Structure 1
Amino acid sequence: MNVKEAVLAYEDRIVALRREFHQYPEVSTEEAETSKRIQAELDRLGIFYQTGFADTGVLAVIEGAHPGKTVALRADIDALPIEEKNQHTFVSKVPGKMHACGHDAHTAMLLGAGAVLAEKKAELAGTVLLVFQPAEENAPVGGADQMIADGVFDEYPPDAVFAQHCWPDLPVGQIGVRPGAMMGNSDRFTITIRGRSGHASMPHQTADAIVIANQVISALQTIVSRNADPLKSAVVTIGKIDGGSRYNVIAEHVTLEGTVRTYDEAMRALIKSKMTDLAEGIAQSMDGSAEVDYLDGYPATMNDPFWSGVVKDTAETVLGDGAAPEIEPSMGGEDFGKFLLEYPGVYFWLGTAIASRDVQKPLHDPEFDIDEKALAIGAEMMTQVAVNALMTLNAGEDINER
């Protein structure tokens, strides 16, 4: 099956689709028009699909001419509430919304892979599922759980699942993949601290919630520095502080909002427990009180070791030796981890760095962009990963012996 040639014939269409999605971004749970555009392209390609998963999600089904196993490829479709600052000709036409995480590219590349697989289905043994997932950015809820609950895989249970993500830290032509942890547990928390208000000149009559919050913030950092195993990664970040009403009034309450990132479940549980103990204990010792609302978010994205090897081999076949260098995992959160709790598979990174930029803009930045030369590579990778995975599964290779 000549995948590269087929993808290149479709490359202009992939670029055009990416630009169309980019101009009309829709944030999590609002992807109605994006879903319609996906369905229109699937109709054009003659690919069967089902809708209604997590409201706007789409499942396309490409059945090969020969019997075989089933593989799923996933793309997320939602945008972010960010005002775009790029200057190219296809900037977002929706104020305050932008595809700042590459989901426009993910969607276009999966449609490109679908076009090639549909064209080559006479040579295909097995079934490939194209999963277009909404609400990936809607942490800690996300759209993956809802798609599963809505029965996205009930009729076509996959034997392996795969997803890719644009990655500005890698050059075009490189793939990031590793066994085990790829992305981290992504939890959120809110700590509400209550004291007693009063006049700024008479602090002895009050319990200053801002001073209590200051002590809590400092103490939270000791969980990582003094309670956590130094060999197990963890991050505790306070991202928002809200408290006080006036310069000369001692604050009655303060709200802290933040995130916890880990890979290890035991570390996750330790931080959750210690956070509550510290916040409540410090507040009580200072004549106040604290309430911790901890939300378990996306689980760590854990790649199956066997399938990681298949993706790495595929990358080096498609792109050449050295195309899949050694990488370190990221503490970023990813809803695809929910799929990997249910099915073996791999989440990998697609190099999209813009060579002309001295400093790459990171994901979620208002100037985030990709080198569009990566689009054909991503479509080819997804297509070839699906083909190779089906060949491996159909051959009955024991994944435990790899």
Structure 2
Amino acid sequence: MNYIEELISSIQNDIINIRRKLHQHPELSNEEYQTSELVKEKLSEYGIEWQSGFANTGVLGIIKGSLPGGTVALRADMDALPIQESNSHSFTSTNTGKMHACGHDAHTAMLIGAGYALQQIKEKLKGTVLLVFQPAEETSPTGGSQPMLNDGVFDECTPDVIFGQHVWPSLPVGQIGIRDKEMMGASDRFKLIVKGESGHASMPHDGNDALIIANQIISSLQTIVSRNVNPLDSAVVTIGKIEGGYGYNVIPKEIILEGTVRTFKSEVKDKVKHRFHKIINQTAAAFEGEVDIDYLDGYPATINTPEWAQQARQSAHRLLGEKSTPVLDPALAGEDFSRFLLQYPGAFIWLGTQIDDHDKQKPLHDPGFQLNEKALPIGSRYLVQVAIDTLETLSEKKSGETDAFS
């Protein structure tokens, strides 16, 4: 552990500089060309074998230990958001309307740092560590994880376990968020085009007010959660955008509603989705209107594998102490890492990155989002620790199976 700390400390400034460079030059989903080049450049500098071309800009680093064993994958996402940054630090975004407001710049930098340390100790590694640099996490429902899988990112080296790490602004530096099962929610989205008949505002009887229909739909949709979903389960139906109308004295013919549905359990999602369509169609029919429904199934819920979540917790305790993993509720935000977990066992982890002035801490996806860079070397060290510990566990499991067979 001391040697790992020394290795990360030796490149701590490099990790921070990589993060700042990426923050200053953010690239949106499926446009991560410079980011991908920087990743490949640093991997080559550290002597790490890599492959590229997965989901266009995705990169896979490969560190093969000298000792036989299993395979652990560590994943970081690379894309930024279409947000205009409002911060005023020395490395604010130079790309208008683009910002790393979700910490993916930090994820990439920390994984590169972890790769450096793992490469230095590969003579002692019992197996292989894969460094997965994923594009397009922010483009639900397509995302970047499934395209990487489709492009064969794990065809040559298949992980036994996969871990993902995400900065978490509500957790102090030095704390790690880990749950044994549900971490993040399924993230469906929808667009509704509510259709009526236009007319003069003074003569509403000559038209069919799409705004009134839309209003009834918005109110009725809230009954799904309050009256159809078990109060002990989790579900959210949110209308985030309303667009329509021509002027103060015109009855609108068309109103557009956009929003999202968030759940954990698949059976709850199915119930919400069924009620969603039924309520909308019947409400529109009751007002003699029509609705076009575009419902997109987004990322599935991010559900950790209990065994490997517990492994991740043990690694946090070894690195940061027994009090480093507080009891936390899951979040209904969506995460593309969920598709990796559908294929391979593993766990998604939150890294505490709260800034020192808590009152000025902005949430993820906020134009003023900031993270505490003191957490970056901790994040790199933790990724190294969880990789080593997991490979050790896989080796012990394999040895046990061999002994039992013999």
For the residues of structure 1 that align with 2:122 and 2:136, how far apart are their CA atoms? 30
1:25 aligns with 26
TM-score normalised by length of structure 2: 0.97
For the residues of structure 2 that align with 1:325 and 1:246, how far apart are their CA atoms? 53
Provide structure 1 residue ranges, at least 5 long, that are not aligned to the other structure. none
* TM-superposition CA deviations, 1:300-355 (whole Å, max 9, x none): 00000000111111101100120011111001100000000000000000000011
CA contact (8 A) 1:280 1:291 kept: no
2:85 aligns with 84
Of the structure 1 ranges 154-163 and 5-14, higher mean CA displacement relative to structure 2 is found in 5-14
Q: Shift of residue 196 of structure 1?
A: 1.1
Of the structure 1 ranges 269-278 and 240-249, higher mean CA displacement relative to structure 2 is found in 240-249
2:350 aligns with 349
For the residues of structure 2 that align with 1:359 and 1:177, how far apart are their CA atoms? 25
* SS of alignment partner, residue 218 of structure 2: helix
1:138 aligns with 139
For the residues of structure 1 that align with 2:290 and 2:206, how far apart are their CA atoms? 16
- 1:1-400 to structure 2, matched below 5 A, reads 2-396=3-397
TM-score normalised by length of structure 1: 0.98
* SS of alignment partner, residue 94 of structure 2: coil
* TM-superposition CA deviations, 1:168-226 (whole Å, max 9, x none): 00000000001111000000011111111111111112111000000000000000001
* TM-superposition CA deviations, 1:71-120 (whole Å, max 9, x none): 00000000011111112111111111111000000000000000000011
* TM-superposition CA deviations, 1:260-305 (whole Å, max 9, x none): 0000111111111111111110111111011221100011000000
For the residues of structure 2 that align with 1:94 and 1:254, how far apart are their CA atoms? 33
* SS of alignment partner, residue 353 of structure 1: coil
* TM-superposition CA deviations, 1:342-392 (whole Å, max 9, x none): 000000000000112324210011111111110000000101100001000
Percentage identity across paired residues of the two chains: 54
- Which runs of 4 or more aligned residues in structure 1 lie more than 4 Å from their structure 2 counterparts after TM superposition? none
For the residues of structure 2 that align with 1:259 and 1:349, how far apart are their CA atoms? 23
CA contact (8 A) 1:183 1:329 kept: yes
Equivalent residue letter for 2:334: G
For the residues of structure 2 that align with 1:353 and 1:336, how far apart are their CA atoms? 22
Equivalent residue letter for 1:200: A
CA contact (8 A) 1:184 1:333 kept: yes
Equivalent residue letter for 1:374: A
* SS of alignment partner, residue 20 of structure 1: helix
Equivalent residue letter for 1:394: S
For the residues of structure 2 that align with 1:119 and 1:147, how far apart are their CA atoms? 27
Aligned residues: 399
For the residues of structure 2 that align with 1:313 and 1:245, how far apart are their CA atoms? 60
For the residues of structure 2 that align with 1:77 and 1:333, how far apart are their CA atoms? 16
